[in-house]
Amino acid sequence: MYEDALKRLDSIVKKAQTAAKMTFPKEAIDILRYPRRVHSVNFSVRTSKGLQVVNAYRVQHNDALGPTKGGLRFHPSVDLEEVKALAFWMTFKNALLGLPFGGAKGGIAIDAKSYTVQDIELISREFMRQMHPYLGPRRDIPAPDMYTNAQIMGYMADEYYKITGEILPAVITGKPLGIGGSEGRSYSTALGGYHVLKEACSRLSLPGRRVVIQGFGNAGYHMARLLQEDGYTIIAVADSKGAVCHEKGIDVASLHAHKTEHGSVLGFSDASEIRLDDLLKIKTDVLILAALQDAITVRNVADVDARLIVELANGPITFAADEVLHQKGTIVLPDLLANAGGVTVSYFEWVQNLSGEVWDEQVVLTKLKARMLHVLEHLWDAYVDKYQLDFRTSAYLKALTTLATAQKERGWY
């Protein structure tokens, strides 16, 4: 994954020179090719399954813009290369959104579904005991990601307090509301993507309202809910176990209730089951990628039949597949922008924690919409229309400009 991310960076730099006559100092790009700090730990925890040795990682990719910021995921496939790539993308995402953060990411290599709630608490607290010297409100601030949630962030924030003797809510974002969390954080990733999608459809005059969603976790569910409430028709949904389809539309609330009870969208009575591999073949106006990275590769990109793709997940389209989609004329709203609602509201939570303020939900949501649309409009006017560039290239160029300037001003090159 990290090599693929670097290939994309090199391609973006070349496009900047040829299409926009923009050049970046080689030193600035070289710095961004390497993470500044990599933490890898192995720790043992006595769980209901017996003694477990757990592998965990935290990568702080670049802190030119401020303390590093990024999510923490639980997944059995997590490895160092994946976390490096995710941290790399966070550096660019935070720069694009104008947030005073560098990029970081963390991962714990476990199958969270196979552990009890008590086991997850033990693992979460031990992770904080292992990593606390490298974390802090002015150093590196984790947040929820795949298979982590507000309660897990609460365990970690509490453990940090037990270790240091200081109650510092800003050490972690995405916490429960009662201990310093922010209104709107739980669905902010989807809401940010929804605002970007709506504005893009309006400016591009895309009339179609048929939607396919890959991934029905927190982000995928909330995106489906928001779109259905706005009159879009959700014709197919997939999770990690299977997919369901109904040409006339799926009721999102009913599907969510079914998954909550049964653990999967499979078996939902008001839709037909289809193969996971067939989901991307469905002709649709909008495809939402809200599952894992590398969902679309050179192996299946030819099957994709969508006019517009929204990357609600991180890195769901490989570099090579992205080039094919561009040639096909498929519009891609990239992860750097489309899923940045989560880190944006995490920033709002951090600000509230540091200042001692508490914002109501409407204040948070208004600020989120304004920031997401401001960035999209800037990309459109300064890059997409001006140089006839795609959205991903435009997002990287804006972020690169910010990062190169910050690194220069710090005297790094």
DSSP 239-286: -SS-EEE-TT---HHHHHHHHHHHSSSTT-TTSEEE-GGGGGGS-EEE
Nearest C-alpha neighbor of 294 from the set 82, 105, 138, 128: 82
State how far the Cα of 188 lies from the Cα of 196, in Å rounded to an integer. Answer: 12
In whole angstroms, what is the distance from residue 128 CA to residue 144 CA?
14
**H or E stretch covering 333:** strand 331-333
Structure tokens at 198: 């709506």
HEC letters along 154-173: HHHHHHHHHHHCCCCHHHCC
CA pair distance 74, 149, nearest whole angstrom: 10
Does 105 qualify as catalytic in the annotation? yes
Angle between helices 117-131 and 150-164 (to 10 degrees): 50
Strand partners, 44: 53
Question: Do 43 and 54 contact (CB within 8 A), yes or no?
Answer: yes
Number of neighbouring beta carbons within 10 Å of residue 286: 25
Active-site residue, selected from the candidate residues 69, 105, 259, 369: 105
Could you tell me which of 368, 408, 406 has the C-alpha nearest to residue 97? 368
Only one residue has tokens 């590196």, namely 140
Residue 299, token pair as written in the block: 């192996």
Active site residues: 105
